[in-house]
Each structure stands twice: as structure tokens, then as C-alpha cells.
Amino acid sequence: MPVARPETSDARVIAHVDMDCFYVQVEQRKQPELRGLPTAVVQYNEWQGGGLIAVSYEARKCGVKRSMRGDEAKAACPQIQLVQVPVARGKADLNLYRGAGSEVVSILAKSGKCERASIDEVYLDLTDAAESMLADAPPESLELIDEEVLKSHILGMSREDGDDFKENVRDWICRKDADRRDKLLSCGIIIVAELRKQVLKETEFTCSAGIAHNKMLAKLASGMNKPAQQTVVPYSAVQELLSSLPIKKMKQLGGKLGTSLQTDLGIDTVGDLLQYSETKLQEHYGINTGTWLWNIARGISGEEVQGRLLPKSHGSGKTFPGPRALKSLSTVQHWLNQLSEELSERLSSDLEQNKRIASTLTLHASAFKSRDSDSHKKFPSKSCPLRYGVTKIQEDAFNLFQAALREYMGPFGSKPQGNKQETWRITGLSVSASKIVDIPSGTSSIMRYFQSESTVPSRSADGCVQDHVAMTPSASEGCSEQRSTETQAAMPEEDTGVTYTLPNFENPDKGIDPVSEKDVVSCPSNEATHVSTQSESNKGTQTNRIWRKMNYSKEKNRVRDLSLGLMHKKLLP
Ligand code: TTP
Ligand code: CA
Ligand code: CA
């Protein structure tokens, strides 16, 4: 559940920077002849030209959307350039994009505390930089204000085109009688404009930014004016911004909590929350979440920018939507092997380059069953201590999967129910490594460290298969980005064009910490403790519904034969 953190009384200056149509920009830098053309990055497969995962702004103007198939995009915009995402091990290989994201991070990190929030986003705490500027060279004393600064959008200021608008921005930034909070924001505006120009110069990428007094508001603002623009949230504009903001657009309210607010309290916008007292909200959602809700309705959030340039976790995932759903243990094992290989490679380079090790391995899957009554049951996520080495990770991942499947299917899992036998299908798989720590400095050799540490156990899933509660809102970043799953659900296996509800199978390290301390429940025996999981994204159930509608009757006999045959052989005790 979200944790309420009081905001400090001192005004902070926080920026959220998000790259514009990021994968497209990375591909356009590689192939400069594509610049300025309507372009999209596609996860190609033979079905309807694959799925789009990033769309340039030129293509968006022609009506192309991320949810489209390649063929649909060509129909909407015949001149569209489709670039295929690199593939390795039968799935999208995001290394190129991760590396490009790191280039940006290394530039932005020079400005202050920097938190890498996803493959293409960072938060910056610019308070110190802004305070220094205010002390040494306040905006009101500047003779020349850069054009990029003057193009900023200041919420609450009416926007007129042309020079008048820029003059208004200049006046706002240079006001002598502004309060300290606004003056600090003005410094933030200048600093961020400069940083964005630097990013463009050094990487050739454009980005957009939100500048506000806290992370929540900065994040909301960064997406308001894209591409290549920045938006500022003065304190005086907060209420208006939130009053009409749909509750589900709010980071952390995209999931169950947001749904409960809508259905149980009839709240549609963040502003609607204002009618409820803190006590009332606490009665409904507990002390912490109640206070957190009360705060966000007022734009209050004390969440700090974490000084973290490296990812909190590594993940490798893939979805198998529609007719591609996996239906046998052998295909699940095949894909887990591929995913584990990729994960292991990334763990090795993290170890080599950053001297960091991870200690928890987690398996997430989304699934559905044939029997209607149970179709909403979530596939449990499982964790165990992480052992380094590809084969060990592969072995452990498969063990975790089997433990989770046993629990998912229940005691009658593979027994006939009436005349029907129950079947399962897997629509998403991901393995992730978390609880990443630096190897203590002074450790003379990595091998010695491993030998001395119990974090790397000698046996797999050794009675310590742990249930994993899928992310609570407060522990994740990417979960605010709700995406439509409808189209995705009808796609054959794809790796990247996805929803960011959790867990994120295609882009599992998109700012997500799949396992936070509190989420892992120790389990002393193989007996898995049942822990209710937050939605494995609605994706599973939606996919379930759509797939069933499309294909179930056609496929069901074959599925039953194949998967139940295997389950009888391998899963029954
Ligand atoms: P986003 O920041 O959500 O989108 P974007 O950068 O393409 O476009 P915008 O200008 O609106 O920010 O995602 C960053 C990258 O992550 C995106 O370029 C491709 C990848 N991605 C996926 O692979 N699947 C997805 O569902 C989403 C949302 C993103
Ligand atoms: Ca982006
Ligand atoms: Ca983003």
C-alpha cells in the first residue's frame, strides 16, 4: 500500500525527464535518414505485420498509435517507416535502448540527485542547484533568458501564441515579488532547459520534462506537453491540475486501489477526493493509505528522489497472447531457459561493471484456466534465493514455476471436473533478479565474497520457495502507466508492446522493483503460504476473455489433450 510521507516544509525543486518516442529516436540516430519521417518501432512477426511499440510524433499526426499492428499502421499512414526491434533468443533485445537510456542518465546525473525510474525516465532533485542559482544569479538578474526557457509551459498561465506568450513566461520567471517557492521553480526551469539542451547536443535525443515541488507533480507534468517541451507546476496551479485529473491517471492509482475508489466511493477525479476527510479515508483504506490519499488530493507528496543510477532489479519477460499462449510444461521450460539466459547475462555484466550482486530470483506468470469459476484466480508469483550461473537460474526458475502452477491449479488441478478436465495456459512469463547490493568495498575477490555469503545458496529452491506479493502501488514506478491490453491480447507472442500494469512481462525492468523487501514472505517449507496477490495485471483475465472468445472452442480439445496429459504425468504428487 502507498506510504504517506510528509513533505518537508522547505520547498524542493524536482524534475521528471522522459524521452520522446524513445525507441524511435534511438533507431533514428542509428539511421539518420529516418529523421523527420513518420517512423515506428515494431516487434515484427508474420501476424498482421507485428505490434508497434514506439511511434514517432510525425506518425502520430497521421493517426498511428502504439496499439496498432504493423499492417494497420501502414493503412493509416502509407509512408510510415517500420523499424524492427532487435531480437535475441527469440525475443526482443532491449540492450540498445538500455544503453541509450544510460547515456542520458550520465548527463543528467551531473546536475543533482538522480533516480533512474525506467528505461527512458529519470527524476532529478535540483533543490541544491536551484538554491545556489537563487543565491548567486537569480533569474531576475539575468539579462538574457534562453529561448528554450521561454518556451516553457507554466500551468495556470494562459497561453497565447507568439511573443506575448514568451514575454509572459519571462515576466513570471523574473518576477521580483514572487515567493521563494516560485523563485526556486524559476531556477529549476532554467536548469532543466539547459540540461535538455545538453542531452540533445550530446546524445541527439529530445526529451520532455515536468518541474514541480515533488515527484508526483513533476511526473504528471512531464507528459503534458510533448515532444521536446517542459511544463512547470507552480504551487498555485496544483488544485486546478488535480481537480479534473482522472483518478486512474495518477501514479499508483491505476490498479486495485483506484478501482476501489471509483466503485466504492464514486470518486472519478483526484479532486473528488477532497470531499473526504482524512479519517474517512483511513476508515476505508487504513491509516497509511488513507493519509496518503488525503495528501495526494492536495498535491502533497514527500517521496524522495533516490540517488540511484542503476536499475533496482533486472528482469526478462515475454508475453504469449492469444493463440500463442503456452500450454505445455516443455514450452514453458523452453521459454524460461531463454529468459533465464538473458537474465544471467545481465547479472554477469552488472557484476563485472558495477560490482553488484542480486540475491532474490522471482518468477511471475500470467495464466488462465479453462474452468470459468476459477478464471480470475491469479497465478502466484514465487521467489527463491538467487544462485549465479545460467543453468542454476534456469533450474530454479522452472522449479518456481512448477510450485506456482501446483498452487494455481489447486488440489484438484489435474483431475477431471465432471466430464471436463481443467487446463491451464500461460500468457506471460518473466524472471527477475532483485535485492541488488554492492559487493562491500574491501572484498578482495568476488569469488571469496560468494563463498562467504549465504545469499548465494548452494541448492535451488531449497525449501524456501517464497510467495511473492505482486507489487503494491507504492513500490513501483511503472505501474502508473496503464495501457490498453485489448489489442495486445490478440497478438501472437511479443516482447515489448505491452501494458505497464504489473508485472511487466515484456519490459520487466521498466522502473519496476519486482520484489521489495516487504513483498517477499519467507516460507520455511515447500508448503507455499497463500498470499493474496495484487492483480497480475488485468491482462491475464482480459487476455483470457478475449482469447476465449476468439479461439477457445477451436483450440480447447487440443489444449486439453496436450497440457493435461503432461500435467497428469508430471504435476500430480
Ligand atoms: P514511453 O515513455 O511510454 O513512450 P515513448 O517514449 O515511446 O513515447 P512518449 O514520447 O509518449 O514518451 O516508453 C518508452 C519506451 O518503452 C518506448 O519508446 C518503447 C518502450 N515501450 C514498450 O516497449 N512497450 C510499451 O507498452 C510502452 C508503453 C513502452
Ligand atoms: Ca518516453
Ligand atoms: Ca517513459
Nearest residue by C-alpha to atom 29 in ligand 1: 53
> Which atom of ligand 1 lies at the shortest distance from residue 498's CA?
26
In Å, how far are 121, 215, 297, 512 from 301, measured between CA atoms?
19, 7, 10, 19
Residues with Cβ–ion distance below 5 A, ligand 3:
18, 120-121
Residue 568 in grid coordinates: 497428469
Q: What is the mean pLDDT of residues 73-101?
A: 95
Confidence of residue 267 (pLDDT cuts 50, 70, 90): very high
Share of the chain above pLDDT 90, in %: 64
Q: Cis link prior to 473 (omega < 30° from 0)?
A: no
Nearest residue by C-alpha to atom 5 in ligand 1: 21
Q: Give the tens place of pLDDT for each residue, 221-241.
A: 999 999 999 999 999 999 999
Task: Say how far apart CA 389 and CA 366 lie, in whole Å.
Answer: 26
CA of 19 to the centre of ligand 2 (A): 4
CA of 497 to the centre of ligand 1 (A): 9
Q: What is the mean pLDDT of residues 56-62?
A: 98
Confidence of residue 45 (pLDDT cuts 50, 70, 90): confident
Residue 569, classed as helix, strand or coil, is helix
Strands (E), 241-344: 314-319
Residues with Cβ–ion distance below 5 A, ligand 2:
18-19, 22, 120
The number of the ligand nearest the C-alpha atom of 19 reads: 2
pTM: 0.77
Say what the pLDDT of residue 327 is.
94
Dihedral of CA atoms 417, 419, 424, 427 in degrees, nearest 10, equals -130
CA of 120 to the centre of ligand 3 (A): 5
Q: Give the tens place of pLDDT for each residue, 466-505.
A: 554 332 233 333 222 222 222 222 233 445 333 223 345 5
Give the torsion sign (CA, 269, 272, 278, 284). Answer: negative
Confidence of residue 196 (pLDDT cuts 50, 70, 90): very high
Residue 493 in grid coordinates: 507472442
**Residue 506 near residue 94, CB atoms below 8 Å:** no
> Which atom of ligand 1 lies at the shortest distance from residue 226's CA?
10
CA of 49 to the centre of ligand 2 (A): 23
Residue 513 in grid coordinates: 522493483
Task: Pick the closest to residue 480 from 212, 222, 253, 210 (CA basis).
Answer: 253
Task: Say how far apart CA 231 and CA 228 lie, in whole Å.
Answer: 10
**Residue 167 near residue 68, CB atoms below 8 Å:** no
Task: Say how far apart CA 370 and CA 374 lie, in whole Å.
Answer: 8
Task: Pick the closest to residue 202 from 109, 308, 311 (CA basis).
Answer: 109
Q: Which residues belong to the active site? A: 121
Q: Give the tens place of pLDDT for each residue, 508-559.
A: 444 333 222 222 222 222 322 222 223 333 333 333 333 333 333 333 333 3
Which residues does a 6 A CB cutoff place in the pocket of ligand 1? Answer: 18-23, 53-54, 119-120, 226-227, 483, 496-498, 500, 507
Confidence of residue 202 (pLDDT cuts 50, 70, 90): very high
The number of the ligand nearest the C-alpha atom of 85 reads: 1
Confidence of residue 208 (pLDDT cuts 50, 70, 90): very high
> Which atom of ligand 1 lies at the shortest distance from residue 495's CA?
23
CA of 462 to the centre of ligand 1 (A): 39
